Amino acid sequence: MAPEETVQKRTEQDSAIEKQSAKKRALITGISGQDGAYLAKNLLARGYEVHGTSRDSETTSFWRLEHLGVRGNVVIHSMSATELHSVLHVLRQVQPDEIYNLAGQSSVSLSFEQPLETMTSNIIGTLNLLEAIRFLGVGVRLYNAGSSESFGDVGGVPATIGKPFNPRSPYAVAKATAFWEVANYREAYGLYACSGVLFNHESPLRSPRFVTRKIVSAACRIAAGSGETLHLGNMDVQRDWGWAEEYVEAMWRMLQQPEPRDYVIATGVQSSLRDFVHEAFACVGLDWRAHVHADPSLLRPSDIASSVGDPAVAERELGWKATMHMPDVVKEMIRHEQAGLSGE
């Protein structure tokens, strides 16, 4: 090989290595969930090296990542967020530039049945990540999945960061606590850490245990002739429903800000669960009143009548705005369900 060819080859190799090392590395805890899968896809498209954690990577189903065609492009590690050693081990191994903390028991209704698991996974899980970052002294940026449930009932007034929390479920208590953990570590130790207080966001990848997916699946089965009746709890509750794929974009944008701060991510519009049901059944050509039964046994011990967020700051500072509102979300979920494109 002529010397100039060798030089040329080295230059190519060097730039390939540089390109590789310039690649940002992200770690997503709870990558097997709805948001984890969409976020993995989003970050891969941006050229990130994506790592994820699951409590048991050998037995967990990563059907959402497979569904999005990205399972083979992410590295998955087993990690127990409630064990500091396990968290330290994974952080040392991966050395991420950005961490997205999405793991934890995420169902409000299940949290009434499993309050301890809900508190431990969300509160201790988040605390361990913060402690591990502090202990390792690494300049990693942390996004924490906060929840609109922390605000409680907002009485129709769109919530902003700074509105007092009034949690009304074990899940909301856990998320409110994790929010303050993050704020405290940011202030006390100068960590780059922030919480996105996200309002409900849905997709065909939503777990069937959530009411929106239950409604969509039942409407499609009934339209296909199943003859069943759908039983629901309080249909008067108002929620701010957006589209999950758009919400993970906001997570990434938060970590690109020069200074860390918490943001509300929402559409700014609330609708009742009854409106959601009406929309879903209308999409399949049915009148919901003939197929849905209000069941008092499904009422929660305490619930939120009204939940809506103010996305103005996110729009101004992150350049983020929801384009999909409740009727669009329902239509897309129904379309996927009917085409057999929803998971589980």
Q: Please report whether residue 128 would count as binding ligand NDP according to CB under 6 A.
A: no
| Burial status of residue 58 (CB atoms within 10 A of its CB: 0-12, 13-18, 19 or more) | exposed
Nearer to ligand NDP, 30 or 260 (CB): 30
Torsion (CA) 82, 83, 88, 94 in degrees, nearest 10: -60
Nearer to ligand NDP, 201 or 274 (CB): 201
Q: Cα–chain-centroid distance for residue 86? A: 22
- Does position 109 interact with ligand NDP (CB under 6 A)? The reply is no
Choose between 107 and 184: whose C-beta lies nearer to ligand NDP.
107
- Interface with ligand NDP (CB under 6 A), residue from 24, 55, 89, 321: 55
Minimum Å gap between C-beta 307 and ligand NDP is: 10
Q: Which is nearer to ligand NDP, 260 or 309 (CB)?
A: 309
117 binds ligand NDP (CB under 6 A): yes
Residue 84 C-beta: closest distance to ligand NDP, Å: 14
267 near ligand NDP, judged by CB under 6 A: no
Measured in whole angstroms, the distance separating CA 288 from the mean position of its chain's CA atoms is: 29
The answer to whether 104 contacts ligand NDP (rule: CB under 6 A) is: yes
Note whether 35 binds ligand NDP by CB under 6 A. yes
CA 25 to chain centre: 19
Q: Sort strands 238-239 and 292-294 into parallel, antiparallel or unpaired.
A: unpaired
Nearer to ligand NDP, 35 or 332 (CB): 35
Paired tokens of 270 = 């609330």
What is the maximum alpha-carbon separation in the chain? 83
Q: Does 103 bind ligand NDP (CB under 6 A)?
A: yes
Parallel, antiparallel, or unpaired: how do β-strands 49-54 and 25-29 relate?
A: parallel
Find the shortest distance in angstroms from Cβ 309 to ligand NDP: 10
Q: What are the residue ranges of helices labelled H in 95-149? A: 108-113, 115-119, 125-136
- At residue 269, φ and ψ (nearest 5 deg) are -125, 135
**Residue 198 is inside which H or E element, if any?**
strand 192-198
**Cα separation of 170 and 182, whole Å?**
19
Q: Are 36 and 64 in contact (CB under 8 A)?
A: yes
- Of the listed pieces 103-111, 231-239, 273-281, 310-318, which binds ligand NDP according to CB under 6 A? 103-111
Please say whether the beta carbons of 39 and 248 come within 8 A: yes
As given in the structure block, the two tokens for residue 129 are 């990540």
Could you give the CA distance from residue 71 to residue 76 in angstroms, rounded to a whole number?
9
Part in contact with ligand NDP (CB under 6 A); list of ranges 42-50, 195-203, 230-238, 256-264:
195-203
Is 271 one of the binding residues for ligand NDP (CB under 6 A)? no
By CB under 6 A, which span of 98-106, 184-192, 216-224, 310-318 interacts with ligand NDP? 98-106
Between 118 and 230, whose beta carbon lies closer to ligand NDP?
118
Residues 307, 239: contact at Cβ < 8 Å? yes
Figure out which of the listed residues 28, 33, 74, 130 binds ligand NDP, where binding follows CB under 6 A: 33
Asked if residue 60 binds ligand NDP (CB under 6 A), the reply is: yes
Binding mask 145-184 for ligand NDP (x = CB under 6 A): x-x-------------------------------------
36 binds ligand NDP (CB under 6 A): yes
What would the two tokens of residue 27 be?
A: 């770690």
Token pair of 161 as six digits: 């960061």
Any contact of residue 105 with ligand NDP (CB under 6 A)?
yes
CB 32 within 8 A of CB 311: no
Residue 102 interacts with ligand NDP (CB under 6 A)? yes
Is the CB of 197 or the CB of 222 nearer to ligand NDP? 197
Q: Which residues bind ligand NDP (CB under 6 A)?
A: 30, 32-36, 54-55, 60, 81, 102-106, 117, 121, 145, 147, 198, 200-201, 207
